[in-house]
């Protein structure tokens, strides 16, 4: 694999497992030093150790993106470890369990999902931007991890609203940061096979049948898109939301099934 990120320092939140881990591994494989930040500090350190065992450079730290002080400390660890911070990947998330209906929604669920998915992204970006702006060659970049839930209806109201807000934040930060040479983009994944689905493999199998490409996504699918948007291959791309979703946004299964019932 080419070393597109040789000499880069990269911070990935929620990086101990799933999409975050795959993304951290992708950057390390392409030459970057990676800060593996996660609420679960022990798991973050394990992932960082595994990356180093594979020949990469990584440091694992505990980081609660709901805590501004913890975010600031994690950013400083990245700068101290790698001498630079060139890329921030905002992947940490909270997705409250689905309720029977909207009238069953709870304030605390909305507050948690918004605080982690949306405000947490703001906290991390705010702390990282001075360093990203100082990155050589105008290579500073932020890549946010959104969801197709922010683009269409897939349930989970509070999570979906937070991810929709992230689309706006991505555009705003892109314009705000452009003069300092920092690009800000977002990847919106569809259903991805992560540890969050453990024990629900049959649900994933059913979901796969709804995707035009015939499968759910893998964490590596998202990591590849993130690496592209963070790289100089995307040097003239900022403020966009890139769906990586196997074609699910292009279909309307309910409409198709309704037609089939009367034909």
Catalytic residues: 159
Burial letters for 87-126: b for 16+ Cβ neighbours within 10 Å, e otherwise? bbbbbbbbbbeeeeeeeeeeeebbebbbebbbbbbbbbbe
CA distance 189 to 209: 17
**40: which 2 tokens?**
């679960």
Q: Report which of 229, 247, 225, 250 is spatially closest to residue 238, judged by C-alpha positions.
A: 229
Distances (CA, A) of 256 to 122, 196, 253: 39, 30, 5
CA distance 193 to 215: 10
CA distance 185 to 168: 11
CA distance 99 to 198: 20
Distances (CA, A) of 232 to 8, 29, 179, 189, 235: 12, 16, 17, 22, 5
| Sole residue written with tokens 């453990």 | 198
């Amino acid at each position: 694999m080419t070393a597109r990120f040789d000499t880069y320092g990269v911070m990935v939140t929620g990086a101990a497992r799933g999409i975050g881990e795959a993304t951290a591994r992708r950057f390390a494989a392409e030459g970057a030093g990676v800060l593996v930040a996660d609420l679960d500090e022990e798991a973050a350190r394990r992932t960082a150790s595994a990356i180093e065992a594979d020949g990469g450079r990584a440091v694992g730290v505990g980081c609660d993106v709901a805590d501004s002080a913890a975010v600031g400390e994690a950013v400083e660890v990245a700068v101290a470890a790698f001498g630079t911070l060139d890329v921030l990947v905002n992947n940490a998330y909270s997705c409250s369990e689905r309720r029977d209906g909207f009238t069953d929604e709870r304030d605390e669920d909305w507050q948690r999902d918004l605080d982690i998915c949306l405000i947490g992204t703001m906290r991390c970006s705010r702390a990282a931007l001075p360093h990203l702006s100082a990155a050589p060659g105008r290579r500073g970049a932020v890549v946010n991890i959104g969801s197709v839930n922010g683009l269409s209806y897939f349930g989970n109201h509070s999570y979906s609203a937070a991810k929709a807000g992230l689309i706006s934040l991505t555009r705003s930060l892109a314009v705000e940061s452009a003069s300092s040479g920092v690009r800000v983009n977002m990847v919106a994944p569809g259903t991805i096979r992560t540890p969050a689905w453990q024990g629900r493999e049959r649900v994933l199998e059913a979901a796969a049948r709804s995707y035009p490409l015939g499968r759910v996504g893998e964490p590596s699918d998202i990591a590849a898109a993130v690496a592209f948007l963070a790289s100089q291959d995307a040097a003239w791309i900022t403020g966009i939301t890139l769906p990586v979703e196997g074609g699910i946004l292009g279909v309307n299964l309910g409409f198709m099934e309704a037609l089939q019932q009367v034909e």
